[in-house]
Structure 1
Amino acid sequence: MVRHGAFAYTWDLVGDPAAVTRIAELGVDTVTLQAAYHSVRATTAWHPRHRIVHAEHAAAYFRLRPDRWRDLRLQPPAPSWAVDDDDRFGTALAALTAAGLRTEAWIVLTHSSVLGRSAPELVVRNAYGERFAHALCPAQPDVREYALRLVQEICDQYDVPALMLEACGWLGFDHLSAHEKTGGADLSPGARDLLSICLCPACSQALQLDVDELSADIRRLLDRELQHGVQVGDQLVDALGIERTQALHNHRSAVISGLVRDITAAAGGREILLMATDDPQVTGPDVGIDLAAFASPPTAYTVKCWDDEESAIARLKAAAARTEVPLVANVNALGDRPAELPSLAGRLVTAGAQQLRYYHAGLASPARRAAIRAAVQEVK
């Protein structure tokens, strides 16, 4: 049997007695429920109190116990929007559990502009010395402690069978921001990846390279593309060489695998579902790693299948060929062709997915909800 699940926000459920029934009507057996999350603006089509929720900053939606955070440099803020409830995750979890829906905690670890602005020394720093406030650097000990405490607090307070980990590594240059004005530079994929390399003090020390030389080379390559149109290309190895690229990948892998290992220990036997992609060059919410050689394999890898169908199938097949760790397909029900969702779900399972998670129960229109129902019925 294939496990079908749907992502949901706490504000989809809290304050709406009919929300659990609507999710159950999709036919899913699992809900991936937001416990700690970044800023977002979301529609809530059926909620009796609101239609738009503007989560202005990253926040913890579980019960915050101040005494458990006093010793940490980073402390998650509480939300102040939508519903007056200091334990929205717990309230939503109780409602879903009462309806027989298996509920896993969805935790965003290193994506927080509010914390990045409060502690700029702990964020990703590019070769120009510019800081990305949205991207906490996981090589920083304070960021690692923050991520582990999030997990510990959720596991201590709630009986959830699994944790879905998002942003368990570095975020980079690509980040939808207020009035984004970077598209006109026509940056190549390689240039975007160069801009995403973190050279903060923690990363610079761990890389075991001549970081001054590396930084200068990155700036030279980027300026040549930005100012003269000479593109870097797609692959970091072509820009930086094998030795430096491998050192970068080794550093990232060591930090991410160490964090996953410690989270697994803190989770007390719960399943760990890691949002990942099989490319150590990648930065973002899905961590870039070598699936075949990752030192701390989770219970399952969650593979994003949000682009065109053929690309999603190819990515799933490639991942299945590279690892024996089970795969969860993260399927976008908000795409351009919702009617094709049942076919895509079936093909993803044939390609190697053992589970499916549909994005997103609260954001989907009636037509997209119907497509999720059809996909669940189609793939058993």
Structure 2
Amino acid sequence: MKASAFVYPWDVNGDPEAGDRIAQLGVQQATLASAYHSTRALAPRHPRHRVVTAEHAAVLYPPDDRWQGRELRPYPAGDWAPGDAFGEAAAALTDAGLEVHTWVVLAHNSRLGADHPDTSVVNAYGDRYPWAPCIAQPATRAYLVDLAAEASVRPGARGTELESLGWYGLAHLHAHDKTAGVGLGDAGQYLMSLCFCPTCREGYGEHGLDAEQLVASVRAALAPVWQGAPSDGGWAGVGKLLGDTDATATRAWRDERARTLQETAVAAVRAAAPADFQVLLHADPESYHCGANVGVDPGHILSVADGVVVPCTAGTGLLTPFAEQGRDGAVLAANFTVVSGMGGRPESLTADAEQARGLGATELRLYHAGLASEGDLAEVRAALAGG
């Protein structure tokens, strides 16, 4: 199977050996970040630094003039990725014989939420999630569509992988995160991720819900959970907490907003891209799920994009709903963390890849070539050499 390793520009720029090192893993592609959220990243092999702090979500290239005069616009990177950091890294990776695809993070941006609080998801208690732009708001949707087109179609890129092109919610790997004290479960996470900004309140009304009554219902449903009662998993658990009618109506609104955003963003990328430019989404097959791997309807998203990147580190079962669509030519990329310090199992990559192939995976994604230790990378080289 074709394999690609995720990488940041700062893993490559300033390290003349980086391109060849990644190619020697046995991958054919590098999925290189062009728009990324804030992070603090280890760089265990770079000759100039060991820790990179990306202070805010940013584009890793010079944005063009489409943003002039607009209130919502991408932020340029600071000294962690100066100038056209993406372009410089892409050239080095291409010179090493790798196909380069862009890695674009969209609806995950704490800086945007800090500077423009009204763009953020607001929960039933009135708390804003600054990392989570509300994808129902027209101005936010326009910003995300244009960002997808610009950040995806960079010089030298042969395709793109769009992350967080959908709803983000409560769950977030935040600095010094302290939200695990109550076990919310799948259902509780959904209720805590429902947005009650003015746009979403109006949207719920279009689906027959009174927003204030829905707020009260969500709070009432969560009250026992705060006291330690279990929050049943799965969509059935949401219906049990909120009532099937209200749960279905909220999902209808949110699914419609996510689906149409995905359609519009992918169309914008295709309009800006050359022929044969591949467009994939990081995706989860349950449309009510939130996060970097956005919840989608498998049949719908495979009719829009060329395929999906599916999280498989915790198991390969999420591949099945996509494979069951039987869509010829669709890319089903199984994404495995190969950084042992982040919960990955690079020593099991051969077996995991075979299992993924048996469930319909056509490609592999390896997270992450820049973060992994040399021992982890040795396991990857051995696995890909044997495959």
User: What TM-score does the superposition give when structure 2 sets the normalisation length?
Assistant: 0.91
| Residue 280 (structure 2) aligns with | 273
Farther-moved stretch of structure 1 (368-377 vs 103-112): 368-377
Residues 289 and 232 from structure 1, CA distance in 2 versus in 1: closer, same or farther, beyond 3 angstroms? same
Q: Please give the secondary structure, in 2, of the residue aligned with 1:292.
A: helix
| Residue 373 (structure 2) aligns with | 365
Please tell me whether residue 305 in structure 1 is matched to residue 312 in structure 2.
yes
Q: Pairwise CA RMSD of aligned residues?
A: 1.8
Matches for 1:152-167 after TM superposition, within 5 Å: 152-154=149-151, 157-167=154-164
Alignment partner for residue 356 of structure 2, among 323, 348, 354? 348
Structure 1 stretches of 5 or more lacking a match?
none
Please tell me whether residue 376 in structure 1 is matched to residue 384 in structure 2.
yes
Q: Please give the secondary structure, in 1, of the residue aligned with 2:126.
A: coil
Contact 1:73 1:142 in 2 (8 A): no
Contact 2:5 2:368 in 1 (8 A): yes
Please tell me whether residue 90 in structure 1 is matched to residue 97 in structure 2.
no
Matches for 1:107-186 after TM superposition, within 5 Å: 107-154=104-151, 157-186=154-183
Residues 301 and 156 from structure 1, CA distance in 2 versus in 1: closer, same or farther, beyond 3 angstroms? closer
Residues 378 and 238 from structure 1, CA distance in 2 versus in 1: closer, same or farther, beyond 3 angstroms? farther
Counterpart CA distance in 2 for 1:314 and 1:186 is 23
| Residue 297 (structure 2) aligns with | 290
How big is the shift at 1:13? 0.7
Counterpart CA distance in 1 for 2:294 and 2:191 is 16
Counterpart CA distance in 2 for 1:9 and 1:218 is 40
| Residue 195 (structure 1) aligns with | 192
Contact 2:90 2:156 in 1 (8 A): no
Residues 295 and 123 from structure 1, CA distance in 2 versus in 1: closer, same or farther, beyond 3 angstroms? farther
Provide Cα deviations, 1:69-106, integer angstroms capped at 9, x if missing partner.
123221221221335x3110111111112222111110
Please tell me whether residue 331 in structure 1 is matched to residue 306 in structure 2.
no
Structure 2 stretches of 5 or more lacking a match?
none
Residues 188 and 314 from structure 1, CA distance in 2 versus in 1: closer, same or farther, beyond 3 angstroms? closer
How big is the shift at 1:245? 2.2
| Residue 317 (structure 2) aligns with | 314
| Residue 56 (structure 1) aligns with | 55
User: What TM-score does the superposition give when structure 1 sets the normalisation length?
Assistant: 0.92
Contact 1:260 1:296 in 2 (8 A): no
How big is the shift at 1:323? 5.3
Alignment partner for residue 106 of structure 1, among 103, 110, 121? 103
Counterpart CA distance in 2 for 1:230 and 1:156 is 48
Contact 1:279 1:290 in 2 (8 A): yes
Alignment partner for residue 245 of structure 2, among 238, 243, 246? 243
Contact 2:183 2:231 in 1 (8 A): no
Matches for 1:206-217 after TM superposition, within 5 Å: 206-207=203-204, 208=207, 209-217=209-217
Residues 296 and 240 from structure 1, CA distance in 2 versus in 1: closer, same or farther, beyond 3 angstroms? farther
Counterpart CA distance in 1 for 2:229 and 2:259 is 36
Contact 1:39 1:56 in 2 (8 A): yes
| AA matched with 2:290 | T
Contact 1:96 1:103 in 2 (8 A): yes
Identity %: 38
| AA matched with 1:321 | E
Contact 1:345 1:375 in 2 (8 A): no
Please tell me whether residue 225 in structure 1 is matched to residue 232 in structure 2.
no
Contact 2:105 2:163 in 1 (8 A): yes
Q: Please give the secondary structure, in 2, of the residue aligned with 1:314.
A: coil
Farther-moved stretch of structure 1 (35-44 vs 364-373): 364-373
Q: Please give the secondary structure, in 2, of the residue aligned with 1:199.
A: coil
Counterpart CA distance in 1 for 2:287 and 2:52 is 35
Alignment partner for residue 75 of structure 1, among 70, 73, 76? 73
Residues 189 and 261 from structure 1, CA distance in 2 versus in 1: closer, same or farther, beyond 3 angstroms? closer
Provide Cα deviations, 1:305-335, integer angstroms capped at 9, x if missing partner.
121xxxx232223431245243111111023
How big is the shift at 1:37? 0.5
| Residue 24 (structure 1) aligns with | 23
Q: Please give the secondary structure, in 2, of the residue aligned with 1:184.
A: coil
| AA matched with 2:333 | V
What number of residue pairs does the alignment pair up? Answer: 371
Counterpart CA distance in 2 for 1:366 and 1:73 is 44
Counterpart CA distance in 2 for 1:236 and 1:71 is 42
Contact 1:221 1:232 in 2 (8 A): no
| Residue 261 (structure 2) aligns with | 259
Residues 150 and 355 from structure 1, CA distance in 2 versus in 1: closer, same or farther, beyond 3 angstroms? same
Provide Cα deviations, 1:104-143, integer angstroms capped at 9, x if missing partner.
1100001010111111111111111110000011111121
Counterpart CA distance in 2 for 1:156 and 1:19 is 23
Contact 2:171 2:189 in 1 (8 A): yes
Residues 264 and 345 from structure 1, CA distance in 2 versus in 1: closer, same or farther, beyond 3 angstroms? same
